[in-house]
Structure 1
Amino acid sequence: MNGFEFDQHIAAPPERVFEVLADPTRASAFLDNITQSTKLTDGPTGVGTVFRETRVVGGKESSADLLVTAYQPSTQLGISTEAEGITVEYHYRLTPDAHGTRLHWACELEAAGLRRMMLPVIAAIMKREDGGHLRKLKAYLESR
Protein backbone atom coordinates (compact mmCIF):
# COMPACT_ATOMS: atom_id res chain seq x y z
CA MET A 1 0.00 0.00 0.00
CA ASN A 2 1.21 3.48 -0.82
CA GLY A 3 0.11 5.59 2.09
CA PHE A 4 0.24 5.57 5.86
CA GLU A 5 -1.79 4.74 8.96
CA PHE A 6 -2.18 6.25 12.42
CA ASP A 7 -4.12 5.27 15.56
CA GLN A 8 -5.18 7.62 18.33
CA HIS A 9 -7.22 7.31 21.50
CA ILE A 10 -9.55 10.27 22.12
CA ALA A 11 -11.29 10.79 25.44
CA ALA A 12 -14.63 11.61 23.80
CA PRO A 13 -17.53 9.42 22.66
CA PRO A 14 -17.52 8.20 19.04
CA GLU A 15 -20.58 10.33 18.22
CA ARG A 16 -18.69 13.52 19.12
CA VAL A 17 -15.51 12.48 17.30
CA PHE A 18 -17.51 11.56 14.19
CA GLU A 19 -19.44 14.83 14.29
CA VAL A 20 -16.19 16.80 13.93
CA LEU A 21 -14.53 14.45 11.41
CA ALA A 22 -17.59 14.34 9.16
CA ASP A 23 -17.75 18.14 8.93
CA PRO A 24 -14.59 19.39 7.19
CA THR A 25 -15.82 22.98 7.63
CA ARG A 26 -14.69 22.60 11.27
CA ALA A 27 -11.12 21.56 10.38
CA SER A 28 -9.71 25.09 10.54
CA ALA A 29 -10.56 25.13 14.26
CA PHE A 30 -7.83 22.58 15.01
CA LEU A 31 -5.62 22.29 11.89
CA ASP A 32 -3.34 25.29 11.32
CA ASN A 33 -2.78 24.64 7.61
CA ILE A 34 -6.50 24.63 6.73
CA THR A 35 -7.59 28.17 5.89
CA GLN A 36 -11.13 27.47 4.67
CA SER A 37 -13.55 24.62 3.98
CA THR A 38 -16.94 25.01 2.37
CA LYS A 39 -19.72 22.51 1.73
CA LEU A 40 -20.59 22.56 -1.99
CA THR A 41 -23.59 20.23 -2.03
CA ASP A 42 -27.03 20.76 -0.50
CA GLY A 43 -28.70 18.55 2.09
CA PRO A 44 -27.34 16.55 4.97
CA THR A 45 -23.81 15.17 4.82
CA GLY A 46 -23.55 11.62 3.50
CA VAL A 47 -22.01 9.60 0.67
CA GLY A 48 -21.69 11.94 -2.30
CA THR A 49 -21.34 15.17 -0.31
CA VAL A 50 -18.58 17.45 -1.63
CA PHE A 51 -16.53 20.00 0.31
CA ARG A 52 -13.89 22.40 -1.04
CA GLU A 53 -10.90 22.72 1.26
CA THR A 54 -8.21 25.37 1.03
CA ARG A 55 -4.92 24.74 2.80
CA VAL A 56 -1.35 25.98 2.89
CA VAL A 57 1.14 23.39 1.65
CA GLY A 58 4.81 24.24 1.40
CA GLY A 59 4.02 27.91 1.91
CA LYS A 60 1.51 27.97 -0.97
CA GLU A 61 -2.27 28.00 -0.77
CA SER A 62 -4.15 25.35 -2.77
CA SER A 63 -7.72 24.09 -2.93
CA ALA A 64 -9.11 20.61 -3.46
CA ASP A 65 -12.56 19.08 -3.55
CA LEU A 66 -13.24 16.38 -0.93
CA LEU A 67 -15.83 13.71 -1.74
CA VAL A 68 -17.47 11.73 1.07
CA THR A 69 -17.18 8.07 -0.05
CA ALA A 70 -18.27 6.27 3.13
CA TYR A 71 -20.55 7.54 5.88
CA GLN A 72 -21.66 5.39 8.80
CA PRO A 73 -22.36 7.67 11.77
CA SER A 74 -20.08 7.12 14.75
CA THR A 75 -18.21 4.22 13.10
CA GLN A 76 -16.77 4.95 9.64
CA LEU A 77 -15.98 7.84 7.32
CA GLY A 78 -14.29 7.86 3.92
CA ILE A 79 -13.13 10.95 2.05
CA SER A 80 -11.35 11.07 -1.29
CA THR A 81 -9.72 13.75 -3.39
CA GLU A 82 -7.94 13.78 -6.73
CA ALA A 83 -5.23 16.07 -8.04
CA GLU A 84 -2.90 15.80 -11.01
CA GLY A 85 -3.79 12.16 -11.66
CA ILE A 86 -3.30 11.01 -8.07
CA THR A 87 -6.25 9.85 -5.97
CA VAL A 88 -6.04 10.06 -2.20
CA GLU A 89 -8.51 8.10 -0.08
CA TYR A 90 -8.80 8.72 3.66
CA HIS A 91 -10.45 6.01 5.79
CA TYR A 92 -11.47 6.73 9.38
CA ARG A 93 -12.68 3.91 11.62
CA LEU A 94 -14.04 4.74 15.08
CA THR A 95 -14.32 2.12 17.82
CA PRO A 96 -15.77 2.85 21.26
CA ASP A 97 -13.79 1.82 24.31
CA ALA A 98 -14.20 2.26 28.04
CA HIS A 99 -12.54 5.69 28.02
CA GLY A 100 -13.71 7.22 24.73
CA THR A 101 -12.89 6.39 21.12
CA ARG A 102 -10.12 4.51 19.36
CA LEU A 103 -9.65 6.23 16.00
CA HIS A 104 -7.83 4.51 13.14
CA TRP A 105 -6.88 6.65 10.15
CA ALA A 106 -5.50 5.20 6.91
CA CYS A 107 -4.46 7.15 3.85
CA GLU A 108 -4.16 5.33 0.52
CA LEU A 109 -2.77 6.81 -2.69
CA GLU A 110 -3.38 5.52 -6.21
CA ALA A 111 -2.17 6.61 -9.64
CA ALA A 112 -1.67 5.19 -13.11
CA GLY A 113 1.31 5.25 -15.43
CA LEU A 114 4.48 7.08 -14.47
CA ARG A 115 2.78 8.92 -11.60
CA ARG A 116 2.55 5.56 -9.82
CA MET A 117 6.34 5.62 -9.32
CA MET A 118 6.01 8.90 -7.41
CA LEU A 119 3.54 7.54 -4.84
CA PRO A 120 6.05 6.47 -2.15
CA VAL A 121 7.59 9.96 -2.16
CA ILE A 122 4.20 11.68 -2.14
CA ALA A 123 3.02 9.40 0.69
CA ALA A 124 6.09 10.33 2.75
CA ILE A 125 5.48 14.04 2.19
CA MET A 126 1.80 13.70 3.10
CA LYS A 127 2.65 11.69 6.21
CA ARG A 128 5.01 14.46 7.34
CA GLU A 129 2.49 17.21 6.49
CA ASP A 130 -0.61 15.48 7.95
CA GLY A 131 0.97 13.24 10.60
CA GLY A 132 -0.21 15.41 13.50
CA HIS A 133 -3.82 15.47 12.29
CA LEU A 134 -5.17 13.00 14.87
CA ARG A 135 -3.10 14.45 17.71
CA LYS A 136 -4.55 17.90 16.96
CA LEU A 137 -8.07 16.48 16.70
CA LYS A 138 -7.56 14.80 20.08
CA ALA A 139 -6.39 18.06 21.70
CA TYR A 140 -9.31 19.95 20.20
CA LEU A 141 -11.97 17.46 21.34
CA GLU A 142 -10.51 16.87 24.79
CA SER A 143 -10.22 20.60 25.52
CA ARG A 144 -13.93 21.21 24.96
Structure 2
Amino acid sequence: MSTPRIGLTQYIDASPQAVWAVISDIGAAADTLSEIDAIELLTDGPYGVGTRWRETRTMFGMKDTMTLEVAESEPHHRTVVLSPVGDLLYRTEFTLRPRPSGGTELRMTFGADQPPQTGVRALAASLLAPLGLRAAQKSMEQDLLDIAAAARARG
Protein backbone atom coordinates (compact mmCIF):
# COMPACT_ATOMS: atom_id res chain seq x y z
CA MET A 1 0.00 0.00 0.00
CA SER A 2 1.38 3.43 -0.94
CA THR A 3 1.02 6.53 1.17
CA PRO A 4 0.33 9.90 -0.44
CA ARG A 5 3.32 11.27 -2.33
CA ILE A 6 4.86 14.71 -2.07
CA GLY A 7 6.33 16.25 -5.20
CA LEU A 8 8.21 19.56 -5.18
CA THR A 9 10.14 21.42 -7.87
CA GLN A 10 13.01 23.87 -7.43
CA TYR A 11 14.44 25.95 -10.27
CA ILE A 12 18.19 26.40 -9.82
CA ASP A 13 20.48 28.84 -11.58
CA ALA A 14 23.21 26.21 -12.00
CA SER A 15 23.99 23.39 -14.42
CA PRO A 16 22.66 19.86 -13.90
CA GLN A 17 26.29 18.84 -13.30
CA ALA A 18 26.61 21.33 -10.41
CA VAL A 19 23.26 20.22 -8.94
CA TRP A 20 24.26 16.55 -9.27
CA ALA A 21 27.58 17.27 -7.56
CA VAL A 22 25.66 18.56 -4.52
CA ILE A 23 23.11 15.73 -4.43
CA SER A 24 25.74 13.01 -4.83
CA ASP A 25 28.20 14.41 -2.25
CA ILE A 26 26.80 12.46 0.69
CA GLY A 27 29.88 13.07 2.83
CA ALA A 28 29.19 16.83 2.78
CA ALA A 29 25.41 16.56 3.26
CA ALA A 30 25.47 17.55 6.94
CA ASP A 31 27.26 20.76 5.97
CA THR A 32 25.10 21.42 2.91
CA LEU A 33 21.61 20.55 4.18
CA SER A 34 20.57 22.50 7.27
CA GLU A 35 18.01 19.86 8.29
CA ILE A 36 20.69 17.15 8.68
CA ASP A 37 22.54 16.85 11.98
CA ALA A 38 25.01 14.09 11.02
CA ILE A 39 26.01 11.71 8.22
CA GLU A 40 27.86 8.41 8.58
CA LEU A 41 28.99 6.84 5.30
CA LEU A 42 28.62 3.05 5.35
CA THR A 43 30.19 2.33 1.95
CA ASP A 44 33.33 3.51 0.18
CA GLY A 45 33.68 4.80 -3.34
CA PRO A 46 31.76 7.19 -5.55
CA TYR A 47 28.00 7.77 -5.36
CA GLY A 48 26.08 5.04 -7.18
CA VAL A 49 23.73 2.10 -6.77
CA GLY A 50 24.52 0.48 -3.43
CA THR A 51 25.92 3.60 -1.74
CA ARG A 52 24.69 3.51 1.88
CA TRP A 53 24.75 5.97 4.77
CA ARG A 54 23.13 6.81 8.09
CA GLU A 55 21.47 10.20 8.27
CA THR A 56 20.41 11.89 11.51
CA ARG A 57 17.78 14.65 11.45
CA THR A 58 15.83 16.37 14.19
CA MET A 59 12.06 16.24 13.71
CA PHE A 60 9.44 17.17 16.28
CA GLY A 61 12.29 18.01 18.65
CA MET A 62 13.70 14.48 18.53
CA LYS A 63 16.74 13.13 16.71
CA ASP A 64 16.03 10.27 14.32
CA THR A 65 18.61 8.24 12.42
CA MET A 66 17.73 6.38 9.23
CA THR A 67 19.80 4.18 6.94
CA LEU A 68 19.54 5.18 3.27
CA GLU A 69 20.67 3.39 0.11
CA VAL A 70 20.92 4.44 -3.51
CA ALA A 71 18.65 2.13 -5.52
CA GLU A 72 18.96 3.88 -8.90
CA SER A 73 21.47 6.34 -10.26
CA GLU A 74 21.67 8.06 -13.64
CA PRO A 75 24.36 10.74 -13.10
CA HIS A 76 23.22 14.29 -13.87
CA HIS A 77 19.65 13.07 -14.55
CA ARG A 78 18.01 11.01 -11.79
CA THR A 79 18.52 9.09 -8.57
CA VAL A 80 16.30 7.08 -6.23
CA VAL A 81 17.11 6.60 -2.55
CA LEU A 82 15.33 4.05 -0.33
CA SER A 83 15.13 3.89 3.45
CA PRO A 84 13.42 1.03 5.28
CA VAL A 85 11.98 1.93 8.69
CA GLY A 86 10.03 -0.84 10.37
CA ASP A 87 7.40 -2.01 7.90
CA LEU A 88 7.67 1.23 5.87
CA LEU A 89 9.89 1.73 2.84
CA TYR A 90 10.54 5.42 2.22
CA ARG A 91 11.39 6.38 -1.37
CA THR A 92 12.94 9.69 -2.45
CA GLU A 93 13.52 10.47 -6.12
CA PHE A 94 15.47 13.40 -7.53
CA THR A 95 15.03 14.25 -11.22
CA LEU A 96 17.20 16.90 -12.88
CA ARG A 97 16.23 18.56 -16.17
CA PRO A 98 18.17 21.30 -17.94
CA ARG A 99 16.00 24.37 -18.55
CA PRO A 100 15.96 25.89 -22.06
CA SER A 101 16.62 29.31 -20.53
CA GLY A 102 19.55 27.96 -18.50
CA GLY A 103 19.85 26.33 -15.13
CA THR A 104 18.19 23.20 -13.85
CA GLU A 105 14.73 22.08 -12.82
CA LEU A 106 15.13 19.81 -9.79
CA ARG A 107 12.12 17.68 -8.88
CA MET A 108 12.01 15.83 -5.56
CA THR A 109 9.33 13.19 -4.97
CA PHE A 110 8.85 11.47 -1.61
CA GLY A 111 6.52 8.75 -0.41
CA ALA A 112 6.37 5.44 1.44
CA ASP A 113 5.10 1.95 0.85
CA GLN A 114 3.73 -0.16 3.68
CA PRO A 115 1.75 -3.36 4.11
CA PRO A 116 -2.02 -2.91 4.40
CA GLN A 117 -3.05 -1.81 7.90
CA THR A 118 -6.13 -2.90 9.83
CA GLY A 119 -7.80 -2.01 13.11
CA VAL A 120 -6.02 0.33 15.49
CA ARG A 121 -2.92 0.51 13.28
CA ALA A 122 -5.02 1.69 10.33
CA LEU A 123 -6.72 4.32 12.49
CA ALA A 124 -3.40 5.55 13.91
CA ALA A 125 -1.86 5.69 10.44
CA SER A 126 -4.78 7.69 9.05
CA LEU A 127 -4.54 10.20 11.93
CA LEU A 128 -0.74 10.58 11.91
CA ALA A 129 -0.09 10.50 8.15
CA PRO A 130 -1.12 14.14 7.47
CA LEU A 131 1.13 15.38 10.28
CA GLY A 132 4.06 13.32 8.98
CA LEU A 133 3.49 14.53 5.43
CA ARG A 134 3.49 18.20 6.51
CA ALA A 135 6.75 17.71 8.40
CA ALA A 136 8.30 15.85 5.48
CA GLN A 137 7.23 18.55 3.03
CA LYS A 138 8.71 21.31 5.19
CA SER A 139 11.98 19.39 5.43
CA MET A 140 12.00 18.73 1.66
CA GLU A 141 11.39 22.40 0.88
CA GLN A 142 14.40 23.37 3.02
CA ASP A 143 16.55 20.63 1.45
CA LEU A 144 15.73 21.97 -2.02
CA LEU A 145 16.63 25.53 -1.01
CA ASP A 146 19.91 24.29 0.48
CA ILE A 147 20.73 22.23 -2.62
CA ALA A 148 20.03 25.26 -4.82
CA ALA A 149 22.31 27.51 -2.76
CA ALA A 150 25.14 24.97 -2.77
CA ALA A 151 24.79 24.30 -6.52
CA ARG A 152 24.89 28.02 -7.29
CA ALA A 153 28.02 28.35 -5.16
CA ARG A 154 29.67 25.51 -7.13
CA GLY A 155 28.87 27.27 -10.41
Give me the TM-score of the superposition, normalised by structure 1: 0.88
- Residues 22, 77 of structure 1: 8 Å contact kept: no
User: Would you say 1:127 and 2:129 are equivalent positions?
Assistant: no
- 1:141 is matched with which residue? 151
- 1:99 is matched with which residue? 102
- 2:87 is matched with which residue? 85
Compare CA radii of gyration and give the structure with the larger one. 2
Aligned AA (1:102) = E
Partner Cα distance (2:23, 2:143) in 1: 11
The CA RMSD measured in Å over matched residues stands at 1.9
Q: Between 95-104 and 123-132, report the one with greater CA deviation.
A: 123-132
Q: Deviations over 1:29-49 (max 9, x none)?
A: 232221211221123321111
- What percent of counterpart residues are identical? 25
Q: Between 28-37 and 76-85, report the one with greater CA deviation.
A: 28-37
- 2:10 is matched with which residue? 8
Partner Cα distance (2:134, 2:113) in 1: 14
Report the CA distance between 1:16 and its aligned residue: 1.3
Alignment partner of 1:18 out of 6, 17, 20 = 20
Matches within 5 A, 1:41-80: 41-80=43-82
- Residues 22, 150 of structure 2: 8 Å contact kept: no
Q: Deviations over 1:75-120 (max 9, x none)?
A: 0011111213221100111011231111111112111124664544
- Residues 25, 36 of structure 1: 8 Å contact kept: no
Aligned AA (2:150) = Y
After superposition, the Cα gap between the structure-2 partners of 1:22 and 1:11, relative to the gap in structure 1 and judged at 3 Å, is same
Which stretches of structure 1, 4 residues or more, deviate above 4 A after TM superposition?
none
Partner Cα distance (1:56, 1:82) in 2: 18
Residues matched between the structures, number: 144
Alignment partner of 2:112 out of 109, 112, 131 = 109
Report the CA distance between 1:5 and its aligned residue: 0.6
- Residues 111, 119 of structure 1: 8 Å contact kept: no
